[in-house]
Amino acid sequence: MADDASWTAPQKKTIGDVAVDGLLAGMAAGLAMVGVLLAAGLLNGISVTETLGRFDPGSDASPVVGALLHLAVAGLYGVVFAVISRLAGPRFGGSRYGWLLGAAYGLLVWVVAQFVLLPRLGITLADISPAQFIPAHLIYGIVLGYLLGRHQPA
């Protein structure tokens, strides 16, 4: 009897698999990021609903819409990071330094948001202090890089 253990052999991920991994990791990292922003807001006397409402580009500042939009954007940025990591090569974003590359990516996302996107959108998200927004983006990137890098070879 032949020993067929192909079901246990690791298989190469398709770009679609990588994108889904990035989406899920991005959403998880987005939850960590919003946790930092909510905690910072509460420490500064800003309610949870007001903080989440800042993510809503509409005039009603709905906390539900804001939270869902934030998760969607965080997931999209996660896909971008995962696909770039995959295309850059197998060693990019590996388990040992994935969190560090993620932190750099989080800072890059903050720069793009702060100086390109938010000034053009005119939403109250731009009112969040850089002292709160930078650490939140760092946490986003660190969690994203860790989650995506933990299954890759060191």
The alpha helices in the chain, defined as continuous H runs, are: 15-43, 48-53, 63-88, 98-112, 118-121, 130-149
93 φψ region: left (φ > 0), alpha (ψ -120 to 50), beta (else): left
pLDDT tier for residue 92 given thresholds of 50, 70 and 90: low
Name the more confident of 3 and 36. Answer: 36
- Asked whether the CA dihedral 102, 97, 29, 48 is positive or negative, the reply is negative
105-125 pLDDT, tens digit each: 999 999 999 998 888 877 778
pLDDT, tens only, 6-27: 565 567 889 999 999 999 999 9
Tens digits of residue pLDDT in 24-51: 999 999 999 999 999 999 999 999 999 9
Q: Of how many residues is the chain composed?
A: 154
